Amino acid sequence: MSKEVSLRIRIISGFLLILGVLLIVRLYFLQIIYSAYYQDKAERQYVHTAKDLYSRGNIYFTTKDGELVSAASIKFGYVLAINPAVIINPDDIYNKLTTYLTLSKETFIDKANQKARTYIEIETQLDETAAGVIDAMDLPGVMLYRNQWRYYPGNELSARAIGFVGYSDEYPDDLHGKYGLERFYDDVLVYNDTVLSVDFFAEIFSNFGNMVFDSKPSKTGSIVTTIEPTVARILDKILLDTQTKYSSQLTGGIIMNPQNGAIYAMNTIPTYNLNNRAKATASDFQNPLVENVYEFGSIIKSLTMAAGLDSGAVVPSSTYYDAGSLTLNGYTIWNYDHRGRGTVSMQEVLNQSLNTGATYVMQQVGREKFLNYFLNLKLESETGIDLPNEAQGLLQNFINSPRDIEYATASYGQGIAMTAMATTRALASLGNGGHLITPHLVSRIEYQDGTSKEINYPPGAQVFKSSTSETISQMLTTVADNALKGGLVSMPDHSFAAKTGTAQMSDPQTGKYYDDKYLHSFFGYFPSYDPKFLIFLYTVDPQGVQYASGTLTDPFMELTKFLINYYNVPPDR
């Protein structure tokens, strides 16, 4: 055989070998990497109308061990429909189907008697078992078709954060995210309609130049959240118990890593079932933790004290004379019990939550510096959390005021209103070394093409010095050990820093404060000097208890002890 023929054979053999390798790689991608995608396509070929079946990326919770748990997915099942034109005895059909129907007999009979129609959907979300039983009945005029829909395995779990899909004015013909993460990440989660029939061999040989490497990265996929499902379930239970016990208007909570802003759980009660929203109101769908603003009261004294420490205006042992009241611009400020304590230290200002003490710190810092601390804490700004409709704080009366009285009331958390999320972010700076973080719920995007993207949230501005963070944490730990319920909740092996807040609520019509309506708040973080968890709680207009120490101390301690045990937090004492 000549050398020329041998060379040609080798070239052809080499080309065939390379082609074979490429085909094997392509098959690997189609059958292994994209298997879920094509399984979905297979399901979507059971179509009874021209409209494509619904498909969307998943939302996942993340357990403490890093395992993914479904928070929102696509569920496969069947549509149950009838053809009134061929149904002879609607009563008999209804009696046989009644176990699987949610509509009333009257409604079913009315639909079954519409003889001019040949197709009416009766149920849109039947599971496989129910469909199998109905199919075996072989009822005339009764039809089953494959269907798929958005499903939330947790039902009420973190409902306000997860949100749901629906129709809207913007998308009247297509389902899109309406609330929560479903809405914020809609452009990632929404899948474009695709051709339902696929020639497998055409798929193998299509886009030959991109067999192995996709030149256009996918922009759609699933999102992985920082929400820990067990923690979220415990938070929901404790919020519900608190709401029920005190007949509050609303009770909410956030559990967050104060070092990086990762949120392990957040919700407000009352909430709703994501899979059964028939009885929920529009206000139930909103997220008060990011959309509503409140005057949170004495927990803000922690920020005021930090400003005093950071500026050098006071130290923990600094003292002032507490007369029980203070008059500024013709208005008198009182301590919560209208009593004076005489000469007291800054530690006692926090221990006994003294309004006059917070005002004293503000005065020592000076109005301009004090205002700058609150502006640097971004209490009037959005936090950047990945949820829709985040509100801004209402601090204008304080920011634009030429009078001392507005600065004084702001120092102890009245006259200024912030979202729970913005307040939680500001409070986190007390324990994390003094910097702002970005609260967030999503850590990673898993794209359809098998790639993934970690979402980075870099640290924000340094508001307090690290030494200030350490000192205020020491002071708040003393509050937790000695003042909170008289020291009865102090833990011998674990330190935690904490502060309560009780704020008068204002009448939205008149702007005046009620004499008998209060908002209770509570925050704490632990371990005190290297915190891994921050808990923020609040309850609106609880009945029968005036102060937050009475309503929220026990829920906070229950959550703290659970987290310590669940995450095996080592003792730090």
Q: Residues spanned by CATH 3.40.710.10 within the chain?
A: 229-272+291-566
Distance CA 168, CA 392 (A): 25
> How many angstroms separate the first and last alpha carbons of the chain?
87
Per-residue model confidence as pLDDT tens digits over 502-536: 999 888 777 788 888 999 999 999 999 999 999 99
Residue type, 465: K
Q: Which residues of the chain have pLDDT under 70?
A: 1-9, 14, 16, 19, 21-23, 25-53, 192-218
Distance CA 421, CA 430 (A): 15
pLDDT on residue 34: 56
Distance CA 113, CA 93 (A): 12
Mind giving me the DSSP string for 221-240?
EEEEE---HHHHHHHHHHHH
pLDDT on residue 194: 44
pLDDT on residue 383: 95
Evaluate whether 444 touches 227 at the Cβ level (below 8 Å). no
What's the number of CA atoms in the CB half-sphere (13 Å) around residue 542? 28
CATH homologous superfamily of 229-272+291-566 equals DD-peptidase/beta-lactamase superfamily (3.40.710.10)
CA angle 96, 102, 106 (to 5 degrees): 70
H or E element in which residue 3 lies: helix 3-28
Residue position matching structure tokens 């936090």: 383
DSSP β-ladder status, 513-526 and 497-506? antiparallel
C-alpha torsion 552→554→560→564, nearest 10? 180
Distance CA 288, CA 281 (A): 14
**pTM summary value:** 0.84
Per-residue model confidence as pLDDT tens digits over 332-384: 999 999 999 999 999 999 999 999 999 999 999 999 999 999 999 999 999 99
Domain boundaries 49-203+219-225, corresponding CATH code: 3.90.1310.10
Evaluate whether 304 touches 411 at the Cβ level (below 8 Å). yes
Distance CA 231, CA 254 (A): 11
Q: Residues spanned by CATH 3.90.1310.10 within the chain?
A: 49-203+219-225
Instruction: Name which of 253, 97, 73 is nearest 165 in CA terms.
Output: 73
How many other C-beta atoms can be found within 10 angstroms of the C-beta atom of residue 436?
22
